[in-house]
């Protein structure tokens, strides 16, 4: 094994969390920072010719190489786990920028009560309403503590939107249910495609509170506090699963890399697959990785940061036997579903769009509505996003009145409805349960010979009933939109690894105010190994309806502040 010269900080994974931490450490401390990224290099100009649905959206050119590594899945401990052999319900990224390159840019803040989920739920409804098998926890950090970092993250990316609560003042037209914001969004809301406008008007007519979705697909040219400038969105409709060809969508490569590329104390090593973290005498000593040529290397470092996405963070902790017996707990996904497929009389021009050009309503999110007489807890955002509708994956959807799924009759109906079909989607909270967890698979291995991560995951009644309730709401909104025909969501059933839901997986190395049941403290610092930090949604004790990236950035920034401000002076526990 080749032993490399030591660095101050090694960061595993060059996505949003890893590169943000690198920027803070390299520019403010300044430390010598090394990122190890398993994928290849990337830059904005790579994306000029990626507007090809087949190679990017279907063959998934930007994702991790599933032939080399995947996960196994089972619905409960009663069954053997089988590998997810082809991508379906989520899409892990690889390469510089990670999934932050091919995300949609939807940038919700979490509601304040999300961070105190156990306390607030018991307070309002009593402990008897908690599901039997639940593992719901408070985060150990509050919305008020995170608010300044949410603001910084929005400024970093130039998020477009409209405030609904500015320093406690309620503002119509924004999300009136959101927690208090210290400042307005850095850029105004995106333009409104037709379907989103129909949805907005329908929600308003029903007395709901629609608001423009907060979007990192920035609405106009923007220069961030680091002096990095980006163009405004052109609504080409190639966001999710693609990199942005004009750099309007905030991506690590067009926000963080321009700052880091100028720093001599920053190195990014691609093609480096980290396999173990080495700990000795209660301190992390470095990481072992396999480089692009297949050679095994040991990289010593004073501080180790894991920032390699929820599942890989968890897997590395398990492989390195650093899980404190708690790694893998609180695995959650997101209740993400097409609540209603809606058929209209008028054409929608759905090829026009942007990953976060949409409208959401918060009336049925979090605890904004009373659950006393409902058969479930919590909720989510009912929304419609005009992300740009492309035909290879989307052609062929017909109303229930058309029975055939191939042949002349189907073809005629599918052509007829093609540009008159819209979707109302729902992204809802997935509670944590003891029975949903990750560990190492006893049978299947990756290309290096290491065990795959095994997911034990299924929906419970809380999610199924929530989905049913939200489907009815989406049908109500569809009618108000003037739908000719509506296909409601068929129901959640068992967790379906074949249907894309979202790449929002949480848990595995969760944070909490106490070491019991958790891996990291509220600064994402390992309880037993103070120079090991675990960044990303692996820290989230449970899913919170909204998409996680903005919260990942806010938590990372808060950790970076604590590392630069306190840890470097006294390298010990920050909690």
Partner 1 sequence: MKRRDYLTVTVGGLIVYTLDRMPGMAQGRLIRVPLRFFTEPEALIIAAAAARIFPSDESGPGANEAGVIIYIDRQLAGPYGRGRYRYAEAPFEEGPPELGYQGKAPPREIYREGLALLGADFRTLTPQQQDERLRGMERSVFFDLLRTHTIEGMFCDPMHGGNADLIGWQLIGFPGPRMGYFDEVDTHHGRAFRPKPASLEQVMGRKVRPSEDEP
What are the residues binding partner 1 (CB under 8 A)? 48-49, 51-55, 58-61, 66-67, 69-70, 73, 75, 79-80, 82-86, 88, 191-194, 197, 232-238, 246, 346-347, 349, 351-353, 357, 390-392, 395-396, 405-408, 411-412, 415, 418-419, 443-445, 493-498
* CB nearer to partner 1: pick between 405 and 434: 405
Q: How far is the CB of 202 from partner 1 (least distance, A)?
A: 14
For Cα atoms 313, 316, 322, give the angle at the middle one, nearest 5 degrees. 105
The structure tokens listed for 234 are 């052109």
DSSP category for residue 191: P
Q: How far is the CB of 105 from partner 1 (least distance, A)?
A: 15
Crossing angle of helices 549-562 and 143-157, in 10° steps, is 110
**504 carries an active-site annotation:** yes
* CB nearer to partner 1: pick between 129 and 464: 464
Cα radius of gyration rounded to whole Å, the chain: 23
* CB nearer to partner 1: pick between 233 and 360: 233
* CB nearer to partner 1: pick between 123 and 409: 409
* CB nearer to partner 1: pick between 54 and 490: 54
The structure tokens listed for 281 are 């005498």
Residues 6+ apart with CB under 8 A from 561: 24, 149
Are 84 and 496 in contact, with CB atoms under 8 Å apart? Answer: no
- Cβ atoms within 10 Å, residue 245: 18
Pairing of strands 296-306, 532-534: parallel
For Cα atoms 574, 265, 16, give the angle at the middle one, nearest 5 degrees. 60
* CB nearer to partner 1: pick between 194 and 298: 194
Residue entry with tokens 């999110």: 365
Q: Is 269 helix (H, G, I), strand (E, B) or coil?
A: strand
The structure tokens listed for 67 are 């032939």
Q: How far is the CB of 5 from partner 1 (least distance, A)?
A: 35
Pairing of strands 165-166, 169-170: antiparallel
Catalytic residue among 134, 209, 430, 504: 504
Residues 6+ apart with CB under 8 A from 17: 307, 535, 536, 552, 553, 556
The span from the CA of 127 to the CA of 211, in Å, is: 33
Selection from 509, 510, 511 nearest residue 521 by Cα: 511
The span from the CA of 104 to the CA of 114, in Å, is: 23
Q: How far is the CB of 401 from partner 1 (least distance, A)?
A: 17
The structure tokens listed for 95 are 């390469």
Selection from 138, 252, 339 nearest residue 553 by Cα: 252
* CB nearer to partner 1: pick between 79 and 369: 79
Q: How far is the CB of 86 from partner 1 (least distance, A)?
A: 5
Q: How far is the CB of 362 from partner 1 (least distance, A)?
A: 23
Q: How far is the CB of 90 from partner 1 (least distance, A)?
A: 13
Residues annotated as part of the active site: 504
């Amino acid at each position: 094994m080749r032993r490399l010269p030591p660095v101050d900080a090694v960061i595993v994974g060059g996505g949003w969390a890893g590169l943000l931490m690198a920027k803070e450490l390299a520019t403010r401390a300044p430390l010598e920072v090394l990122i190890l990224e398993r994928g290849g290099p990337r830059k904005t100009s790579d994306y000029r010719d990626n507007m090809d649905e087949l190679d990017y959206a279907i063959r998934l050119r930007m994702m991790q190489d599933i032939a080399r590594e995947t996960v196994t899945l089972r619905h409960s401990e009663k069954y053997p786990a089988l590998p997810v052999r082809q991508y379906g319900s989520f899409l892990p990224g690889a390469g510089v920028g990670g999934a932050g390159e091919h995300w949609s840019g939807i940038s919700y803040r979490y509601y304040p009560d999300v961070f105190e989920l156990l306390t607030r739920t018991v307070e309002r409804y009593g402990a008897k309403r908690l599901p039997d098998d639940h593992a719901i926890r408070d985060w150990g950090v509050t919305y008020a503590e995170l608010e300044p970092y949410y603001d910084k993250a929005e400024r970093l990316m130039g998020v477009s939107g409209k405030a609904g609560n500015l320093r406690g003042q309620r503002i119509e037209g924004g999300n009136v249910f959101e927690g208090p914001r210290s400042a307005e969004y850095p850029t105004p809301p995106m333009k409104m495609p037709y379907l989103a406008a129909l949805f907005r008007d329908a929600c308003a007519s029903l007395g709901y509170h629609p608001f423009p979705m907060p979007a990192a697909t920035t609405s106009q040219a923007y220069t961030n506090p680091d002096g990095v400038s980006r163009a405004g969105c052109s609504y080409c409709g190639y966001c999710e699963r693609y990199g942005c060809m004009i750099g309007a969508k905030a991506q690590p490569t067009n926000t963080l890399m321009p700052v880091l590329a100028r720093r001599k104390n920053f190195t990014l090593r691609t093609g480096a697959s980290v396999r173990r973290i080495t700990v000795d005498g209660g301190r992390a000593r470095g990481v072992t990785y396999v480089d692009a040529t297949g050679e095994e290397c040991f990289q010593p470092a004073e501080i180790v940061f894991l920032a390699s996405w929820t599942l890989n963070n968890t897997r590395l902790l398990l492989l390195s036997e650093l899980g404190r017996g708690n790694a893998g707990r609180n695995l959650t996904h997101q209740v993400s579903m097409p609540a209603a497929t809606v058929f209209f009389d008028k054409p929608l021009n759905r090829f026009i769009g942007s990953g976060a050009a949409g409208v959401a309503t918060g009336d049925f999110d979090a605890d904004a509505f009373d659950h006393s007489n409902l058969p479930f807890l919590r909720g989510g955002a009912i929304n419609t996003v005009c992300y740009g509708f492309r035909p290879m994956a989307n052609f062929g959807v017909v109303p229930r009145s058309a029975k055939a799924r191939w042949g002349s009759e189907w073809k005629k109906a599918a052509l007829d409805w093609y540009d008159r079909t819209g979707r109302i989607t729902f992204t809802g909270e997935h509670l944590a349960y003891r029975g949903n967890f990750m560990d190492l698979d006893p049978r299947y291995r990756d290309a290096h010979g290491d065990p795959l991560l095994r997911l034990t995951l299924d929906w419970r009644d809380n999610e199924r009933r929530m989905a049913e309730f939200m489907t009815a709401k989406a049908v109500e909104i569809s009618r108000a939109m003037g739908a000719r025909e509506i296909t409601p969501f068929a129901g959640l059933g068992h967790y379906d690894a074949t249907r894309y839901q979202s790449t929002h997986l949480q848990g595995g190395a969760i944070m909490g105010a106490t070491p019991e049941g958790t891996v990291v403290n509220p600064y994402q610092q390992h309880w037993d190994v103070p120079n090991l930090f675990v960044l990303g949604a692996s820290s989230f004790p449970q899913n919170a309806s909204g998409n996680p990236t903005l919260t990942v950035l806010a938590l990372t920034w808060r950790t970076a502040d604590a590392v630069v401000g306190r840890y470097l002076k006294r390298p010990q526990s920050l909690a």
